[in-house]
Amino acid sequence: MQDLLLGFYILFFATGFMGWAAMFVLSLRVRSAVLKPLLWFQSIYMLGMGLVVIYLYLQSRPEGLAPAAALGIGLVSAAVNAAVYVCAYVILGRLAGAEPKRGRPRATIRIGQALALAVVAKSVLNMALAAAAAAGSAWALASRGGAWSLAGYVVSGLAIAAFGVAARGPAPEGEPPIMRSLLEAYGLCALGFAPLAIVEYLVESSGLTWLPGLSTDHLFFLAWNLVSMGAAVRLFKPDDAGIPALDVVPAERVTALGLSARETEMAVLIARGLANKEIAAELGISPATVRTHIYNLYQKAGARSRVELINKLRS
């Protein structure tokens, strides 16, 4: 069992570091309002995983875990959990600039922020209860279980679900295409794991066997890391037509070639591998207008193909 748990944690940390590196590379390559808080989210989540490993190591020693050490780790873990949801609050705030689309009300973001703050408040109260229980308060010790514990799982699950719905909504204006698809994938990941918080509570409260030291949070973190790594792969991998990735035209190339805002947007859509009709549908213009913009792009860049065009815009 210990070997299995060790294997899980090796996987968590391996994907965690690669996921963090992927987000860092994205932050260097694309301009995005949500990337920085996402990078902080990734970093803080990794810290939380590290605390779990420290706790399990200290607990497995022959002398066990000293009460003072258990209290310290518990307080820091609660603070880390609060910081994770503060990041979620900030990310949702960055998404609030998007216009409502497909019937998704902007109120979803506000609800998600309110739920995130509720989790932060509960984490702070958990810290206070843990300190009071360590000081000998029987009331504080009794209050940390039962309905209080269930409330934590419910609020956390709802906050994750609200984040998922908001992330899969319209992205803010100016976000590069790769960030839009990344947010949608994060949202799907959150929606998939939101109900598992209640499942975990039911398993724990029923006394069923659960792998010690492993929770649904770890599986969520693993899925999140895989999404981050996938975004980095897309950033560097050419599409099926051999067109290199391009999420934003460098400002110096825009100035040097005299590109208009529409032509710059068109170049990014071309790099995504979209056909003329797909670009027209994406921008709400006619295919004839798309052909005109592409012709102008070719003339300004001195390119004869889409691949050559994107390569010239990148250099």
Domains defined for the chain, CATH in brackets: 2-236 (1.20.1070), 251-314 (1.10.10.10)
DSSP letter at 260 equals -
Inform me whether the pLDDT recorded for 19 exceeds 70: yes
Return d(Cα 73, Cα 79) in angstroms, integer. 10
Q: By three-state DSSP, how is residue 249 classified?
A: coil
Predicted TM-score (pTM) of this structure: 0.70
> Minimal CA–CA distance to 231: which of 195, 275, 186?
186
Q: In this structure, what are the phi and psi dihedrals at residue 239, rounded to the nearest 5 degrees?
A: -75, -175
How high is the mean pLDDT of the chain?
80
Q: Evaluate whether 20 touches 46 at the Cβ level (below 8 Å).
A: yes
Mean pLDDT of 269-290: 85
Return d(Cα 268, Cα 247) in angstroms, integer. 6
> Minimal CA–CA distance to 152: which of 133, 124, 132?
124
Which residues are CB-neighbours of 10 under 8 A, at least 6 positions away? none
Percent of the chain residues past pLDDT 90, beyond the cut: 13
Inform me whether the pLDDT recorded for 28 exceeds 80: no
Q: Angle at the Cα of 64 (from 63 to 70), degrees rounded to 5?
A: 135
What letter represents residue 244's amino acid? P
Structure-token pair, residue 135: 């000081």
Give the pLDDT score at 315.
64
Return d(Cα 276, Cα 269) in angstroms, integer. 9
Q: Evaluate whether 79 touches 134 at the Cβ level (below 8 Å).
A: no
The residue that leads in pLDDT, 173 or 102, is 173
How far are the Cα atoms of 43, 284, 312 from residue 306, in angstroms, in the given order?
A: 38, 21, 10
Mean pLDDT of 230-245: 61
Return d(Cα 162, Cα 128) in angstroms, integer. 27
According to DSSP H, which parts of 96-176 are helical? 107-134, 138-143, 147-167
Q: pLDDT digit string (tens) for 107-150?
A: 888 899 999 999 999 999 988 888 888 877 767 666 666 777 78
Q: Evaluate whether 219 touches 193 at the Cβ level (below 8 Å).
A: yes
Inform me whether the pLDDT recorded for 97 exceeds 70: no
At residue 244 the predicted structure's pLDDT band, cuts being 50, 70 and 90, is: low
Question: What burial class does residue 214 get, using C-beta atoms within 10 Å of its C-beta: 0-12 exposed, 13-18 middle, 19+ buried?
Answer: middle
Q: Evaluate whether 176 touches 247 at the Cβ level (below 8 Å).
A: yes
Q: Which helix (H) or strand (E) holds 205?
A: helix 196-206
Return d(Cα 43, Cα 41) in angstroms, integer. 6
The residue that leads in pLDDT, 81 or 178, is 81
Give the pLDDT score at 174.
67
